[in-house]
Amino acid sequence: MNRLLAVSTTIVAGLLLAGGTSVGAADLQPVPKMTDQEYKDAQFIYFDRCSGCHGALRKGATGKNITPDNTRKKTLAALEKILYEGTDGGMPGWGKDGFMTRAETDLMARFVQNEVPEPPEWNMKDMKKSWKVHVPVADRPTSPPKGKNWQNYFGVVLRDAGKVAIIDGDTKKTLNIIDSGFATHILRTSASGRYMYAIGRDGKATMMDMWADPPDLVAEVRTGIDARSIDTSKFKGFEDKYAVVGDYWPPHYVILEGDTLKPLKIVGTRGYTYDTNEYRDETRVASIVASHNAPEWILTLKETGVVLLVDYSRMEDGTITETKINAERFLHDGGWDSTKRYFLVAANARDTISVIDTVERKLVANIITGTKPHPGRGANWVDPEFGRVWATVHLGEGLVSIISTDPTKDYAWTVVREWELGGNSLFIKTHPNSTNVYCDNTINQEKSHVLTVFDINKPDALPREITFKKKVVHMEFNKDGDEVWVSLWDKDGEVVILDDKTLKEKARVKGLYTPTGKFNVYNTMNDIY
């Protein structure tokens, strides 16, 4: 090695080798043995139950960092207890709640003390291979089905079946049950409402044609290994043109042809945390909403706390413009205010709602709410005292936080009202034609069978509670806003339809396997919630 190299070696090689530095192994528990089959089984359970909160790389988000350098500080017995019984910090009791056997919690305790497996990439080649058009565009109907009020159809996620039931909102008849991805997460519609899109936890996107009679699967594509979000192009001139999927792994979003799901472009999201500027290999796309006012999608990046405004207007030549707005870390779910100018999104592990102004293209506020807000898309109404508001429920406590969304008020973007709720909750819903606000209490063992109903015009009155025989989750209105549909989340599940005025049961759709989210075509295409 010549002189100059030798001189510089100490400077540069030190850096090159910095990656190899390892933490002292003192006081760490030994790495438990696992067979190949056990490791493989554990990997799947981890994907299904753990990675949502802890991340594929186990570095934590909503849940804690559980890489081996942390987990090996605990004994196997201690880990197994946490897995079985849960914690006050929000870890579910997987054993206690009946989702894992003792053998499985033992398996998972050993797994999290073992090395983190590197998840594979998923590139265009893989997507193209998985892409199937079941009904070519030319073979589809050119007009809506006669005599059907198709805009009042509902897509109902049958979560653990990996299927979607399409139910006619007028007749309450199940028109079809359609295969979608594993543990289907959400549904969205195209701008016209004609197409309904599902995204599975396994990254599989499917699309269903509401004009077909009965509605049916027309295309599918696997966009990644793990995904949570999908939406479509809703701006004038781009209606029904594109869909977009946000993946958890690999960290990217994929732009798809709106009528065939043909994958057009993958854009990576790996980057740096907005605040400390640390690199995050796992930068998951948490939620997506489609702007009605610009050719844009709003995407939230969980680990880095960045909100992307993604302009798709130049997709014809493959150009994408991203405005990267600093918001808050651990972004999760969110929705529009009633004017569809402001996007409100939960940074759940930071107990915060971030508000993005999509016209001025900036963060308006980070609002501290209760513990781990989880709005779904939230709910918008007019409060008799405070005017326009948007509200969220919480994973971590029984609380509704009600935020003013009227920028002309001096209390805009603050919590103007709080309602105590029976239990920790997943979803909240109302409708412009309703004076009721509905909340589930799904995460609370004692209250999980209860639907809570607040009266917008009596904000200080105690809510009414309706108790069902099964776990209640997720509410959705019909097109006219005079019925609310409620899922009873069970293997022998049902959708209960209540009259919004009287709260009396109007009808019940039975024989649904684990129904969860419901999406009315009209309300979804118009983002009414």
Q: Catalytic positions, please?
A: 50, 53-54, 91, 332, 374
| Burial profile 496-518: b = 16 or more Cβ within 10 angstroms, e = fewer | bbbebeeeeeeeebeebbbbbbb
CB closer to a second copy out of 304 and 487: 304
Neighbours of 408 (CB within 10 A): 8
Shortest spacing between CB 322 and a second copy, in angstroms: 5
Shortest spacing between CB 177 and a second copy, in angstroms: 16
Q: Please list every residue from 508 through 527 that binds a second copy, using CB under 8 A.
A: none
- Determine the Cα–Cα distance for residues 263 and 251; give it in Å rounded to an integer: 16
Neighbours of 457 (CB within 10 A): 12
Shortest spacing between CB 107 and a second copy, in angstroms: 9
Q: Please list every residue from 156 through 195 that binds a second copy, using CB under 8 A.
A: 160, 162, 182
Which among 467, 393, 469 is positioned nearest to 430, based on CA atoms?
Answer: 393
Our finding on whether 277 is near a second copy (CB under 8 A) is: yes
CB closer to a second copy out of 6 and 138: 6
Among the listed residues 29, 43, 65, 526, the single contact to a second copy using CB under 8 A: 43
Which among 479, 486, 483, 490 is positioned nearest to 452, based on CA atoms?
Answer: 486
- Determine the Cα–Cα distance for residues 151 and 145; give it in Å rounded to an integer: 11
At residue 56, φ and ψ (nearest 5 deg) are -60, -35
Strands 362-368 and 379-383: unpaired
Among the listed residues 25, 97, 120, 462, the single contact to a second copy using CB under 8 A: 120
Contact segment (CB under 8 A) with a second copy among 2-10, 380-388, 405-413, 445-453 equals: 2-10
Our finding on whether 116 is near a second copy (CB under 8 A) is: no
CB closer to a second copy out of 321 and 445: 321
The answer to whether 204 and 255 are in contact (CB under 8 A) is: no
CB closer to a second copy out of 165 and 484: 165
Which among 73, 66, 79 is positioned nearest to 25, based on CA atoms?
Answer: 73
Which among 335, 376, 328, 380 is positioned nearest to 351, based on CA atoms?
Answer: 328
Our finding on whether 468 is near a second copy (CB under 8 A) is: no
Contact segment (CB under 8 A) with a second copy among 133-141, 311-319, 340-348, 405-413 equals: 311-319
Shortest spacing between CB 294 and a second copy, in angstroms: 13
Residue with tokens 């299904």: 48
Our finding on whether 153 is near a second copy (CB under 8 A) is: no
- Omega before 214 cis (within 30°)? yes
Shortest spacing between CB 122 and a second copy, in angstroms: 8
Which residues of the chain form contacts with a second copy (CB under 8 A)?
A: 1, 4-5, 8-9, 11-13, 15-20, 40-41, 43-45, 47-48, 104, 117-125, 160, 162, 182, 202, 225, 250, 252, 263, 265-268, 270-272, 274, 276-279, 314, 317-326, 361-363
